Chain A
Amino acid sequence: MSDKVPITLKINGCAHAISVEPRRTLADAIREDCGQTGTHIGCEHGVCGACTVIVDGAPMRSCLMFAVQADGKNIRTVEGLADGDTLHPMQQAFMDNHALQCGFCTPGFLMLAIGVLEREPDMSDDDLLDVLSSNLCRCTGYQNIVKAVRAAAKEMRK
């Protein structure tokens, strides 16, 4: 064990003052120290993408970053997407298109798709497919995820 370091994680606009070992990953800190369990852990070695969050506007794998590195950065997770009862167009599109079954990989896909489309709203369908091949899903076979993300991309461009 090493000494804990006090940091502040700004998640979805809320500041969480926590104290963590340097080795604690951002994923674990978000989930355990800040109580935001919507971000899931599927592999801890940066392959499955279930832990994807948006940090300072860029989608990244929170299992590959240490929480201490995210001190002071703007972090967005799945819990911050809806506006009260109104779902984000991406969330709505996932529901309308049956793009989730067990729901475990879903937050990662949502943050990945939103993070990328906010940076590149006019991304081509083919490039979008490349992006979506970043994350693993075992339930849906991807077809409906692709459909949902394309539908949401259109909405988001409006």
Chain B
Amino acid sequence: MSVATKGSGLTWVGRAIRRLEDPALLTGRGRFTADLPAAHWVRFVRSPAAAGKIERIVAPDDALVVTAADLADVKPITPMLHKFEYRPVGQPILADGEVRFVGEAVAAVVAASEEEAEDIADAVELSLADAIPIIDARDALAPGARQIHPSAPGNVILQSRIVTPEFERIWKTAHKTVAFDIRSRRQNATPMEPRAAHAAFDFATGRITLTCTTQMPHLTRTAIADVLGMPERDLRVIAPDVGGGFGQKMSLAPEYVLLVWLARKHQSCFAWTEDRRENLIASFHARDQSIALQGAFDANAKLLALKADIVSNVGAYSCFPTTCGVEPLMAIAELPGPYDFCAYDCRARGVLTNTCTMAPYRGVSRPIITFALERLMDKAARAFAIEPAEIRRRNLISKFPYKSAAGLTFDEASYQETLRIAREATDLPGFRKRQAQGRAQGRYLGIGFATFSERTGYGSPAFAARGMEITPGWETVVLSVDPSGFVEARIGSSPHGQGLRTTLAQIVADQLGITPDRVKVVHGDTDRAPYGWGTFASRSLVICGGATLMAAQKVRAKLLKLASHMLEAAPDDIVLEDGEAKVAGTDRTIPIAKLARESYTQTYRFGGIEPGISETGTYDPPGTFSNACHVAEVEVDIETGRTTVTRYLVAEDAGRIINPMIADGQVHGGVAQGIGNALFEEIVYDENGAPLTATLSDYLTPTAREIPQIELHHLETPSTESLTKAKGLGEGGGIGAPAAVINAINDALSDFGVEIDEMPATPQCIRAALRKAETKA
């Protein structure tokens, strides 16, 4: 890290420097929640049935077992939306009177070791009067279906409708319409670290410290204090190193509440680590949706109007804080994608069933709506006998700002350009030749495109538009320089692999003329970090980065002011570089460390300046859209149905890139999850609501063999809606991959008259489609 900075302007931003996070993580000195020792270990007894009344819970004598009866003073977790006919639904910390999904926690057992706790949990007898569970969203919507919650008639937790003016008239002008249904099957984010919580009572202060695997430490604190009716100041929440979240760890887990309750009641220290089976069946699921889609096109294959009905199976409860409205509401708001049309008629519903509750998972609904819209484009392309890349070229937006049919404003971006770059890099004519040659040899190659926008870095206005009672969005950063001259940035975001300790240090380093290793980013501990909303929704670099920049600019201004006193020059004549404040064009210089020290210890000399150096930045932007074009080449083995992704290309634009290595890593990881979503991953329930995919041998996340080398092409359209000019990109990789891969499968199989409109497109599903087409022929 000893490269000299050269003058003002960007020196560290834009460079692929090694991560400051890495040395500890590489040497086994990471600190994850399960690494903490505890006096008592907790194990949850979980419902084996998907629905039914609890008749009796019998625990072994002498065992410390907690049930809902002990938690009468504890409020259920009840997130709230004030729009869209949202029906509030409360989740008790432990099932209260009835169970609503297999895996729901019914009791908690405490023992001196994890092994013992599990022995006791096994010995707890649970008597349930089984009810017939409702697993499928269609069954939940059927007239007369049993209500899963008294407050949600018809099992609809919310409903939203958008109809643009003159929709019917525009629809009728269509030259061709395309109609079909898509099915997205249930996913599990499957972070490598299962969830865990550790709650410790401190006798000296009477406070509880909860260390847990959360993406939102402050909100976890607020919510738990509220549910337990305790002063928030008595609860400290620490998100230590967290082993992946992807959204699953942003929703409040009832288990965390129980741990804090135990610590308070018994004034001791309790720990819980989720096992993999629990994570797969009882944490949070995602993406169980069906969309019926119709598109109307003019004679030039230009999309005129889009009609859609979206049904989202949200599970048995509602996740906090977003509520389970998040998937259907995002779907209806963003389904129009990056295409230029104005007529839109869409209904979206969130439907309750006796399955595990959904929570946001990287991209949330965007992988699904992108899949739907991109299948529409490909089907229309075939109907019009034009190339898939061409129909997109005719329809992608290109003038900004652009207001979508759903009312979202797209800022400056490069939709057409990324398509063009991807198309050129792919060598489409060359591919078509290879495809034809392959067919002659009985090999089925296919190519698939996906163009999409990614809504990122959106602050509170976006969440307020959904009517969320808890409206996240802004971020605050407190940046200080201590008397030793080292810099500390305390942030409200909560990174868990995104490299924020490095990228924010790069931003600060550029402003202050120092090296990034002199900047320590502190996050995750509510006692140390200013209130913030954590890390999710591709927001941290944009919003926390913006707040960091604001605070750094203020610190810079202060340093210049201090320096101007010391060096007797105007602030405009002073430059910060190489850790020094220098009068430009002279050899008059003073170390920044000295300025810092004297701002504390010799304050009187600076005539009325506030002592020390500590500045705050708070940023709450409206949001900024990044964009990408993904291209997948596949080979489908028609005998076994196996799809191999042979090439994967991304042309993306996420505005100014702070650290290219970290940015690329986000795309790689997102694409890998997207390929998993497209081909492998599916949470399956049987008709009784018993999970059939409860091990990592059944829920199949991809390995290194299944993910090809990803070719990345970058554009940078500096964001006009982001102080750092960066846009978010954490989710983009996962958004485009299912569409690109499955479009490629359909392209490979176009001779067979099959249409694969579901994901994952498993070998079995492809073989079934081929067999059906064979019998028809």
List residues of A whose CB falls within 8 A of some B CB.
1, 21, 23-24, 28, 31-32, 36-45, 47-48, 50, 77-79, 81-82, 87, 91, 94-96, 98, 100-107, 110, 129-130, 132-146
Tally B residues with Cβ within 8 Å of A.
62
B388 CB-CB contact with A under 8 Å: no
Could you list some 12 contacts between A and B, CB below 8 A? A32-B37, A40-B32, A78-B28, A81-B27, A91-B26, A98-B19, A98-B662, A104-B30, A104-B191, A106-B25, A135-B703, A136-B703
Shortest Cβ distance from residue A103 to the other chain B in the assembled complex, whole angstroms: 3
Chain A: CB-nearest residue to B697: A47
B670 partner residues in chain A, CB cutoff 8 A: 141
A77 partner residues in chain B, CB cutoff 8 A: 28
**Contact (Cβ within 8 A) B115 A45:** no
**Contact (Cβ within 8 A) B28 A133:** no
Query: How far does the alpha carbon of A133 sit from the alpha carbon of B18 in the complex, in Å?
Result: 25
Shortest Cβ distance from residue A158 to the other chain B in the assembled complex, whole angstroms: 20
A24 partner residues in chain B, CB cutoff 8 A: 115
**Contact (Cβ within 8 A) A104 B672:** no
B499 CB-CB contact with A under 8 Å: yes
With A43-B696, A98-B19, A103-B30 as given contacts, are A139 and B703 in contact (CB-CB < 8 Å)? no
Query: How far does the alpha carbon of A59 sit from the alpha carbon of B18 in the complex, in Å?
Result: 28
Q: Which residues of chain B in 355-395 are interfacial with respect to chain A, using CB atoms and an 8 Å cutoff?
A: none
B19 contacts which of A82, A95, A135, A137 (Cβ < 8 Å)? A95
Query: How far does the alpha carbon of A39 sit from the alpha carbon of B27 in the complex, in Å?
Result: 10
Chain A: CB-nearest residue to B26: A91
**Contact (Cβ within 8 A) B192 A42:** yes
Query: How far does the alpha carbon of A77 sit from the alpha carbon of B191 in the complex, in Å?
Result: 22
**Contact (Cβ within 8 A) A43 B276:** yes
**Contact (Cβ within 8 A) B22 A95:** yes
**Contact (Cβ within 8 A) B27 A129:** no
Chain B 728-761, CB-CB to A under 8 Å as 1, else 0, gives 0000010000000000000000000000000000
B669 contacts which of A23, A82, A101, A146 (Cβ < 8 Å)? A101
B497 contacts which of A31, A43, A103 (Cβ < 8 Å)? A103
**Contact (Cβ within 8 A) B672 A141:** yes
Query: How far does the alpha carbon of A106 sit from the alpha carbon of B29 in the complex, in Å?
Result: 12
Q: Which of B223-231, B704-712, B718-726 contacts A (4 or more CB under 8 A)?
A: B704-712
With A50-B192, A98-B661, A101-B669 as given contacts, are A143 and B707 in contact (CB-CB < 8 Å)? yes
**Contact (Cβ within 8 A) A104 B27:** no
Shortest Cβ distance from residue A102 to the other chain B in the assembled complex, whole angstroms: 3
Query: How far does the alpha carbon of A47 sit from the alpha carbon of B23 in the complex, in Å?
Result: 27
Chain B: CB-nearest residue to A25: B115
Shortest Cβ distance from residue B28 to the other chain A in the assembled complex, whole angstroms: 2
Shortest Cβ distance from residue B469 to the other chain A in the assembled complex, whole angstroms: 30
A132 partner residues in chain B, CB cutoff 8 A: 703-704
Q: Which residues of chain B in 1-38 are interfacial with respect to chain A, using CB atoms and an 8 Å cutoff?
A: 16, 18-19, 21-23, 25-32, 34-35, 37
A143 partner residues in chain B, CB cutoff 8 A: 668, 707, 709-710
Among A39, A48, A81, A140, max chain B CB count under 10 A is at: A140
**Contact (Cβ within 8 A) B18 A138:** no
**Contact (Cβ within 8 A) B30 A41:** no
Q: Which residues of chain B in 660-674 are interfacial with respect to chain A, using CB atoms and an 8 Å cutoff?
A: 661-662, 664-665, 667-673
B404 CB-CB contact with A under 8 Å: no
**Contact (Cβ within 8 A) A40 B193:** yes
B26 contacts which of A37, A100, A129 (Cβ < 8 Å)? A100
B709 partner residues in chain A, CB cutoff 8 A: 143
Query: How far does the alpha carbon of A140 sit from the alpha carbon of B664 in the complex, in Å?
Result: 9
**Contact (Cβ within 8 A) A138 B115:** no
B701 CB-CB contact with A under 8 Å: yes
A79 contacts which of B23, B28, B114, B733 (Cβ < 8 Å)? B28
B706 partner residues in chain A, CB cutoff 8 A: 133
Shortest Cβ distance from residue A48 to the other chain B in the assembled complex, whole angstroms: 6
With A48-B696, A94-B22, A139-B669 as given contacts, are A102 and B703 in contact (CB-CB < 8 Å)? no
**Contact (Cβ within 8 A) A95 B668:** no
Chain B 24-60, CB-CB to A under 8 Å as 1, else 0, gives 0111111110110100000000000000000000000
**Contact (Cβ within 8 A) B704 A145:** yes
Query: How far does the alpha carbon of A79 sit from the alpha carbon of B177 in the complex, in Å?
Result: 62
**Contact (Cβ within 8 A) A130 B27:** no
**Contact (Cβ within 8 A) B28 A37:** yes
Shortest Cβ distance from residue A38 to the other chain B in the assembled complex, whole angstroms: 2
Query: How far does the alpha carbon of A103 sit from the alpha carbon of B37 in the complex, in Å?
Result: 20
B119 CB-CB contact with A under 8 Å: yes
**Contact (Cβ within 8 A) B498 A105:** no
B25 partner residues in chain A, CB cutoff 8 A: 100, 103, 106
Query: How far does the alpha carbon of A48 sit from the alpha carbon of B733 in the complex, in Å?
Result: 23
A104 contacts which of B29, B244, B697 (Cβ < 8 Å)? B244
B496 CB-CB contact with A under 8 Å: yes
A134 partner residues in chain B, CB cutoff 8 A: 703
Among A36, A43, A81, A94, max chain B CB count under 10 A is at: A43
Chain B 480-500, CB-CB to A under 8 Å as 1, else 0, gives 000000000000000011110
Query: How far does the alpha carbon of A110 sit from the alpha carbon of B661 in the complex, in Å?
Result: 20
Shortest Cβ distance from residue B384 to the other chain A in the assembled complex, whole angstroms: 35
B243 CB-CB contact with A under 8 Å: yes
B242 CB-CB contact with A under 8 Å: yes
A101 partner residues in chain B, CB cutoff 8 A: 244, 497-499, 665, 669
A102 contacts which of B34, B193, B704 (Cβ < 8 Å)? B193
Chain A: CB-nearest residue to B696: A47
Chain A: CB-nearest residue to B666: A101
B275 CB-CB contact with A under 8 Å: yes
B194 CB-CB contact with A under 8 Å: yes
Query: How far does the alpha carbon of A11 sit from the alpha carbon of B18 in the complex, in Å?
Result: 30
**Contact (Cβ within 8 A) B27 A139:** no
